[in-house]
Structure 1
């Protein structure tokens, strides 16, 4: 538990800030007013206040109050209580959920509602307190700002208002203690800095490289969700560069970090950053991005390194490809719980890559009909940013997708006849015997 932190209340009146009720969810305002009418203190808190202050448009609106979760539920019929480690009330309006949290204390009252791991990790946090105690308990100063509905002021207890104005991410309290409480805060620092275009304050950044191994203690399922937030929120390039800069890439994607380090040409890193740039563009255009494609990109350097290692050991190419895909996936699962519904198509994207160099008619049409063709082709196109050796394949398959089937078939037949004719001047080759088709119809 971190030592007592001095708070100093700064009230920023309505005429000195730009937070307006026009930009706040009407449902969040309903919750705030209902709690106030019920005799409770209630404020908009956290990321929504921070984002509104810098001119953003928050998607989520959280409320903090001195009402207990049970008291919140008594006021709202559309309320459900969730969580064990951190008890919360969710007030549900159709597809929108307003999260309501009771002010937390930063101390242990002996009730057992605040529990920490021997390493300092916070396991349970349900000791209620005052708004001042709640502010100190939050992670970053920028997330500890409160918008009060009674006078439309912003309340700042830990210097967050100045930090937002200076675009700084600063931890409240001792950084090492806070990271040990919850190692995922290191990823949050990088993600929020990337999202907001903030700098991580020097003392907040300093312990991260040394404490990065603590991420191994975090639940792999939680790290998977954090990865999606890092890379699918429209700031993937900045997030990746932040992970590299603060020594977190090796803890999150260890084999990719090792592969990038050993790739002297930088080709794999160029491809990865180009792919993340494309991901950001798709998010900006409200286009979907598959987690399978994202992880195919993030783990491609690891796959290439594993494949090269197996081939150097004399493993046949097709077998090496399968084993490399399995090896990278299994090793990554130790850190991030990548669900099979994403890991299997990720592997398919990798294993389809060699098939783009094939021009036999049956194989061409079989690949075009493959359910993973489009993703695999997009991935092949992306590989051009690392090397132009695939330019001919990309051109062929781009044209193949646009041609009618009969025209493509005629082109492939003509191409084969041309190749056969070119061979006539060569030494006679032994004619290959056709294999009989099996009962199953295979070749």
Structure 2
């Protein structure tokens, strides 16, 4: 990943020895995201041509339980907070303003996103002229993953406050966030009697977001607060891991029994625990943090004695480009599958050849991701990497709003016209978030 601030998935950018365990966690989570997205995309063919796509969970609701493991966004937030906590604490101790740090993060994210949206917008414009059958088949799936970048920017803007909260309250800060998230779900559900609590999930699912939209912030702050507490040594070891793992399983089973959807995904995909996030999603956080603690000692020994640490470092360096571009490679993969006659449309789960078709689809995507990554990394390496972030409050606020607005437009409107609108706004954000050199005293302007 270029630009130290694109560290949404890489860390704090400080010159100190790397802790490879968090890097390995991020690398593993990134691979889960990439493979999970590819597996979940089901191209549909007619006459050997792709005419549309479906999502795996639309046709196989039982797979929702798999999202308890593959919904690794909480893990990303947890690890990012742990990696960044010391740097933020040092800046707080030195009296430095944290907005400059956040501006660097936002700028490092905006620059590669401009490249991605520029290519996607060009493809969309070309499709308007020459017919965009393949692009239309994928459309919003090419921008849906950008929600994570917007969410992470939002919670990381509050990272200094979370560090202060940990310093003052310790794990009580985590408990307070969980309590507030529970209150948001209770208000959304309109609970009136103790008996309603037994069907809390059903009431939450039956009602519009309402107060539940508070959990767009509260729920995602929970893994951030947990990550800081882990870094501070407030909990550690296999016994704590086993306890959190059991808590996560019990939490999820109780949530499902009360009527929350099984799948930890977004709108229309076997339920909705994501928009807005619900209390059920917190169970996934306990589960994943428990696994992190259980795996920590053997994983550290493994990373210390094997060359896999080098592979982890390489994957970490490719984190941002791979996350941004892994969905777009589905277009050339579908095109190649058509030309070769690969049976990427294998019907429904349970039908003969379904999982063979999934495997062939993943292989096509993996084959196409290599040249795409080579082109993207080659381009990004030629760009200036020492661009300083803005320090003025006005520029940072305006740039941050433009960046979030561009990501939101791309999410809501898809490849067309979302990518074009998003490109304009993210481009403006990149310009606003850059430091402007001040003229020397006495120099003419």
- Shorter-chain TM-score: what band? under 0.3
Give the structure with the larger helix fraction: 2
Computing the radius of gyration from Cα coordinates, the structure with the larger value is: 1
Q: What TM-score comes out, normalization by structure 2 length?
A: 0.26
Q: Higher relative contact order at CA 8 Å, sep ≥6: structure 1 or structure 2? A: 2
Give the structure with the larger strand fraction: 1
